[in-house]
Amino acid sequence: MDYDLEYVEKTGLSADYRQNLARYFGTLPEQARIHAFRMWLDAVGTSVPQAEEAYGCFLTTLHILKRSESRHGEHEELGTRLRLWRVKGARRQKPKAKTAFIHLHFHELHDLRTNGLSWRDLETYVYEKHKIKIGFSYLRRVFAEAAQLRNH
């Protein structure tokens, strides 16, 4: 399917800058991405534009966001909100040591399970060999999540 890039070029944004805006969108925290879509929906209204027009409008929305965040735009309140979302999104979650241990030793635990050990036996094994106390039900739940991640 070929798209008419004339609509996109009507935005007045260069090809390099459009690429930059696409990367910028990827760096935004989740709240800001949702807000970008909200701004786009407000700009588009109830009409359903062609894909090229919608994309051009979305790029213009990202341009407004980027200018607001760098204090060059007229939307100072939006810029402040974006900076706050970045700070809140950047807060690092403390890694869960037991979850990380299960992921790290997944193959070892998998081998023991395939050789017939129960989850309670694995709980005892992990404590005796690695000196980490992990309940069998937590071990089973995180192991299942890890297995599912590895299958996809």
Judge if 83 and 139 occupy the same domain: no
Domain count, the chain: 2
Domain enclosing residue 108, as ranges: 97-144
Question: Is residue 140 one of the residues assigned to a domain?
Answer: yes
Residues with Cβ within 8 Å of 133's Cβ and at least 6 positions away in sequence, in order, are: 126, 127
Judge if 17 and 51 occupy the same domain: yes
Judge if 119 and 68 occupy the same domain: no
What's the pLDDT band for 76 if we cut at 50, 70, 90? confident
Domain boundary among 66, 90, 114: 90
Judge if 109 and 135 occupy the same domain: yes
Judge if 102 and 120 occupy the same domain: yes
∠ CA 87-93-98, rounded to 5°: 175
Question: Is residue 1 one of the residues assigned to a domain?
Answer: no
Q: Which pLDDT tens digit goes with each residue over 83-102?
A: 888 888 766 667 789 999 99
Domain boundary among 73, 90, 107: 90
Q: What is the mean pLDDT of residues 92-117?
A: 90
Judge if 45 and 70 occupy the same domain: yes
Among 9, 21, 2, which residue's Cα sits nearest to residue 53? 9
Q: What is the mean pLDDT of residues 98-117?
A: 94
Q: Quote the pTM value.
A: 0.55
pLDDT of residue 43: 84
| Residue 114 pLDDT > 60 | yes
Q: Report yes or no: 54 and 8 within 8 Å, Cβ to Cβ.
A: no
Q: How far apart are CA 5 and CA 48, in angstroms?
A: 18
Q: What is the mean pLDDT of residues 47-57?
A: 82
